[in-house]
Structure 1
Amino acid sequence: MTPAERDELVIEGDSLAIRRIGPWLRDRLDGLPADEAGEIAARLELAVHEVAMNMVDHARLPASALLRFRAAITDTVVEVSVTDPGEPFDPDTEKTPTAGTPQERGYGLMIVRKLVDHLEYTRLDAGNEWILRVNRTSPADPGTPEVSSTHD
């Protein structure tokens, strides 16, 4: 991807610092048309927040861990990558919740997959990376993009 705009946020790996994600993301989207920015922010902010909370709650982060968020905006997509120095995670082993069956985990990832158009997880040498993409609405097609997700 050759981004038209790229920016980074680095925060401590704790639940209080995660509150900085929303304002940071909305600032990144500020140059988009207001209706498009609002629609993308509504989806992407919740998805990124959920991924970050999963990192804090489940990745067994070291005490001094930092989470890194990078945003890129092109003519066709808004992409946020999130990295952490935590333990490996295999999203394919997470059971997707089913109606009527009690389950304590897996709802967050299910929500993230519904909110973004593309979700990708990669194990890095020293941590994890999640890439979340939301398609931009083209001026010729003001409809809501079809939501689908993949795990590469």
Structure 2
Amino acid sequence: MPPDPPAAHKDGGEAGAVPGGAVQLPATLADVRRTLAGLTDRWRAYGIPPDLADHAELVLAEVLNNVVEHAVRGHQNARITVEWDQRPGGLDLRVTDTGKPMPGGDAPAGDLPERPDPATAPSEGGYGWFLIRSLAKDLSYRRVDGVNELRISLGTNP
């Protein structure tokens, strides 16, 4: 059974209002898994449609794992912040961290990689950004004062 939604939201509204919130987590793969499970349960408890909650979980799994594996690798005590706001027909996500900037100063295009020879190809790689961009209605990245900020809108356009 999913947990009861909290009595108030980050905007100070009452329970039953449009859900929004934030969570900060240590930048480890174990904490990413634990956080994703909790967020999905929380969003479903708020009544966010299951397909939208599932899409958010998939996108955040890719994004947060990339942060852990690439942006903050080797940074002691690195943390990631995830914020969300529900809007009619969608969910807006904001992920911040103080790791390395995205290569080239922008989020990857998300093109499908060439189909390599299965005998020599790695088991994964190159599909995460394709998945993220396929599910996102809007996506933006910027780096300000040493902080990476990725904004992703899911669901219908605002």
The residue that corresponds to 1:47 in the other structure is: 59
Alignment of 1:13-92 (within 5 A): 13-19=27-33, 20-32=35-47, 37-61=49-73, 62-89=75-102, 90-92=106-108
Cα drift, residue 15 of structure 1: 0.4
TM-score of the superposed pair, with normalisation by structure 1: 0.74
The count of residues paired between Structure 1 and Structure 2 equals: 133
Residue 133 of structure 2 is matched in structure 1 by 113
Q: Secondary structure at the match of 1:111?
A: helix
The AA in structure 2 aligned to 1:126 is G
Q: What code does the residue aligned with 2:45 have? A: D
Partner of 2:3: none
Superposed CA RMSD in Å reads: 2.7
> Could you tell me how far 1:99 is from its partner in structure 2?
3.0
Partner of 1:149: none
| Structure 2 residues without counterparts, runs of 5 or longer | 1-10, 12-16
User: Who is 1:12 aligned against?
Assistant: 26
Paired amino acid for 2:29? S
User: TM-score, normalization: structure 2?
Assistant: 0.71
Identity between Structure 1 and Structure 2 (%): 23
Deviation at 1:87, TM superposition (A): 0.6
Contact 1:30 1:37 in 2 (8 A): no
Q: Which residue of 1 aligns with 2:115?
A: 99
- Answer whether contact 2:108 2:129 (CA < 8 A) is retained: no
**Amino acid paired to 2:114:** T
